[in-house]
């Protein structure tokens, strides 16, 4: 295909996206022509486009590289690609207007539109996400989901060195701020020219709804405060979560905790994560019901899960909010030295918070409250309720919202490391990492490995370790002592 045909087809997709009209065709073609370093364009009639937007992007980038207007790789290429894909992205006002039009028919139609747009314009990095290694793992808590994250690019040493030369600014203040919409990006900030945010009004406050570029699950989205302010779990959090699932009833929404160790990777900007995905924890059943005297019409119970989860169900969203606030207030002040649970340090530092997850079940509002404690000790300097040393060869990072719900996000190093473990258990030439050796030897004692079963067994064992990771993060262990302690907390409500 000639580069003229590529440009013509690319502009056709730009017009179809809704941000331009046919009258803009010559203008757009010349803009693209200049960007890729070409001087002239053959006159070609528009036709039915058979290639995807990403295929056409690749062809434009190849030509731009030939013409020396963009580097081979790195951040400069990311910025260049985002600027090209911005042509395929209507302005924020148009995207919001189209979202509202679809929403009038059905909220799912609106998110379908926005999700497809965010894939077509390469804001959601579909090709990078496809590189992730994903597999299920059967455990006593049901089927957990395991992901080895290979999509989010690691910064190369040249990029890291270049960053040191960049003048640091506080604009945008962080990767979640609304000021990212349309921001060029550079060595110290991701490219966001093709980024769009749907505006939401949550009880008089301005919030934004966007998709995650490196999604970990289906329609992985972020709902963020317009104001750059720290994460806080409070009664208002629960009210917003129930409001969001009224607006988007086909999505779940949850929040990372607001304390270090048990919180997410970004504590500086108030935000939630949502999406169209059924996580293993949602499938887990209530194994023990209890009554909350102030809410006689509410279902409340302890979920069969390695972490400590209280589930509330009610047709009345305000009852859910009030009950959750009651549990949060009690938990923030609650200590039980018998099981190493301490609400405060001697200096008054708070250690207790909650990871909440909301969803709709028909007419019912459902809210899961996962109790979190970020205390440390001499034995567990990384966190008493954090992955312990014996499982850190698989997962040593924080257990955030996504892991809490049963989806492991494991580091990229494991792709090659698990391959070496497989070679080791098959007694083939290998370079097994020292931190995996004890685990591999234990597996060799328990299984008869061969070429057909080795990968499946190792993946199954990774799932068992992830279940242990979650159990480590659970404040009340699934032992007679732990469950008795959980009952003491429930009785205090």
Choose one of 15, 39, 70: the last residue of a domain: 70
Percent of the chain having pLDDT more than 70? 96
- Could you tell me if 150 and 260 lie in one domain? yes
Closest listed residue to residue 291, CA positions, set 315, 310, 304: 310
- Could you tell me if 142 and 15 lie in one domain? no
- Sorting pLDDT into bands at 50, 70 and 90, what band is 8? very high
- Confirm whether 182 is domain-assigned: no
- Confirm whether 259 is domain-assigned: yes
What pLDDT, on the 0 to 100 scale, is given for residue 151? 83
What pLDDT, on the 0 to 100 scale, is given for residue 152? 66
- Sorting pLDDT into bands at 50, 70 and 90, what band is 74? confident
- Could you tell me if 140 and 251 lie in one domain? yes
CA distances from 75 to 66, 186, 413 (A): 18, 6, 22
Choose one of 26, 49, 70: the last residue of a domain: 70
> Is residue 136 within a helix (H) or strand (E), and if so which, with residue range?
strand 133-139
What pLDDT, on the 0 to 100 scale, is given for residue 153? 54
Question: In this predicted structure, which of 103-107, 292-296, 311-315 has the lowest mean pLDDT?
Answer: 292-296
- Could you tell me if 334 and 481 lie in one domain? yes
- Could you tell me if 254 and 396 lie in one domain? yes
What pLDDT, on the 0 to 100 scale, is given for residue 265? 79
Kindly provide the residue ranges of all beta strands, DSSP E only, lying in 261-329, ordered along the sequence: 271-275, 286-289, 299-303, 309-314
What pLDDT, on the 0 to 100 scale, is given for residue 204? 93
- Could you tell me if 154 and 27 lie in one domain? no
DSSP letters of 2-54? -HHHHHHHHHHHHHHTTS--GGGHHHHHHHHHHHTT-------------S-HH
What pLDDT, on the 0 to 100 scale, is given for residue 97? 98
Tens digits of per-residue pLDDT, 181-238?
999 998 778 999 999 999 999 989 999 999 999 999 999 999 999 999 999 999 999 9
- Could you tell me if 22 and 141 lie in one domain? no
Tens digits of per-residue pLDDT, 90-144?
999 999 999 999 999 999 999 999 999 999 999 999 999 999 999 999 999 999 9
CA distances from 359 to 196, 199, 250, 301, 368 (A): 25, 21, 8, 16, 9
- Confirm whether 249 is domain-assigned: yes
Q: For the chain, how many residues are written?
A: 493
- Could you tell me if 348 and 210 lie in one domain? yes
- Sorting pLDDT into bands at 50, 70 and 90, what band is 161? very low
Backbone angles phi, psi at 142, to 5 degrees: 100, -170
- Confirm whether 165 is domain-assigned: yes
Cα of first residue to Cα of last residue in the chain, in angstroms, is 70
What pLDDT, on the 0 to 100 scale, is given for residue 333? 97
Collapsing DSSP states into helix, strand and coil, what is residue 226? Answer: coil
DSSP state of 376: -
- Could you tell me if 44 and 137 lie in one domain? no
What pLDDT, on the 0 to 100 scale, is given for residue 186? 83
- Sorting pLDDT into bands at 50, 70 and 90, what band is 170? confident
What pLDDT, on the 0 to 100 scale, is given for residue 187? 73
Q: Across all residues in the chain, what is the average pLDDT?
A: 94
Joined tokens for residue 135:
């597999």
Over residues 340-355, the mean pLDDT reads: 96
- Confirm whether 150 is domain-assigned: yes
What pLDDT, on the 0 to 100 scale, is given for residue 156? 42
Over residues 78-90, the mean pLDDT reads: 97
- Confirm whether 231 is domain-assigned: yes
Tens digits of per-residue pLDDT, 372-394?
999 999 999 999 999 999 999 99
Tens digits of per-residue pLDDT, 247-290?
999 999 999 999 999 987 789 999 999 999 999 999 999 999 99
- Could you tell me if 32 and 137 lie in one domain? no
- Confirm whether 267 is domain-assigned: yes
Tens digits of per-residue pLDDT, 207-221?
999 999 999 999 999
Q: What is the CATH number of the domain that holds 371?
A: 3.30.428
Joined tokens for residue 358:
């909301």
- Could you tell me if 142 and 220 lie in one domain? yes
Domain that holds residue 321: 133-169+198-407+476-492
What pLDDT, on the 0 to 100 scale, is given for residue 163? 42
- Could you tell me if 17 and 143 lie in one domain? no
Choose one of 70, 91, 121: the last residue of a domain: 70
What pLDDT, on the 0 to 100 scale, is given for residue 483? 96
- Confirm whether 103 is domain-assigned: no
Looking at the structure of the chain, the number of domains it has is 2
pLDDT higher than threshold 90 for residue 467: yes
């Amino acid at each position: 295909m000639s580069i003229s045909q590529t440009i013509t087809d690319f502009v056709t997709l730009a017009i179809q996206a809704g941000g331009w009209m046919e009258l803009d065709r010559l203008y757009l073609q010349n803009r693209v022509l200049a960007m890729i370093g070409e001087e002239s364009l053959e006159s070609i009639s528009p036709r039915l486009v058979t290639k995807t937007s990403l295929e056409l992007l690749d062809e434009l980038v190849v030509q731009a590289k030939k013409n020396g207007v963009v580097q081979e790789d790195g951040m400069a290429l990311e910025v260049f690609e985002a600027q090209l894909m911005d042509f395929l992205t209507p302005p924020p006002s148009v995207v919001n207007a189209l979202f509202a039009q679809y929403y009038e028919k059905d909220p799912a139609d609106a998110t379908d539109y926005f999700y497809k747009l965010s894939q077509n314009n390469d804001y959601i990095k579909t090709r990078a996400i496809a590189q992730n290694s994903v597999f299920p793992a059967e455990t006593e808590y049901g089927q957990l989901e395991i992901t080895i994250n290979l999509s989010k690019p690691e910064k190369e040493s040249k990029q890291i060195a270049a960053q040191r030369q960049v003048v640091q600014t506080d604009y945008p203040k962080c990767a979640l701020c609304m000021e990212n919409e349309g921001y060029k990006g550079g060595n110290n900030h991701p490219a966001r020219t093709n980024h769009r945010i749907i505006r939401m009004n949550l009880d008089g406050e301005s919030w934004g709804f966007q998709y995650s570029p490196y999604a970990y699950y289906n329609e992985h989205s972020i709902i963020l405060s317009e104001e750059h302010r720290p994460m806080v779990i409070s009664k208002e959090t629960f009210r917003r979560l129930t409001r969001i699932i009224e607006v988007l009833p086909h999505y779940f929404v949850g929040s990372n905790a607001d304390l270090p160790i048990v919180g997410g990777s970004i504590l500086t900007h108030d935000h939630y994560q949502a999406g169209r995905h059924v996580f293993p924890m949602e499938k887990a059943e209530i194994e023990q019901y209890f009554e909350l005297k102030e809410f006689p019409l509410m279902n409340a119970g302890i979920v069969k899960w390695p972490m400590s989860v209280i589930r509330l169900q009610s047709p009345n969203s305000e009852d859910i909010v009030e009950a959750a606030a009651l549990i949060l207030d009690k938990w923030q002040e609650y200590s039980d030295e018998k099981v190493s649970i301490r609400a405060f340090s001697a200096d008054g530092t708070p250690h207790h918070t909650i990871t909440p997850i909301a969803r709709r079940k028909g007419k019912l509002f459902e809210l899961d409250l996962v109790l979190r404690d970020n205390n440390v000790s001499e034995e567990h300097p990384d966190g008493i309720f954090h992955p312990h040393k014996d499982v850190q060869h698989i997962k040593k990072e924080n257990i955030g919202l996504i892991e809490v719900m049963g989806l492991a996000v494991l580091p990229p190093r494991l792709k090659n490391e698990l391959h070496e473990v497989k070679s080791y258990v098959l007694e083939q030439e290998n370079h097994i990492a020292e931190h995996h050796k004890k685990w591999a030897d234990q597996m060799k004692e328990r299984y008869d490995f061969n070429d057909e079963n080795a990968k499946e067994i190792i993946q199954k064992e990774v799932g068992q370790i992830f279940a242990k990771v979650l159990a480590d993060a659970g404040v009340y262990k699934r032992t007679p002592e732990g469950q008795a302690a959980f009952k003491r907390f429930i009785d205090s409500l």
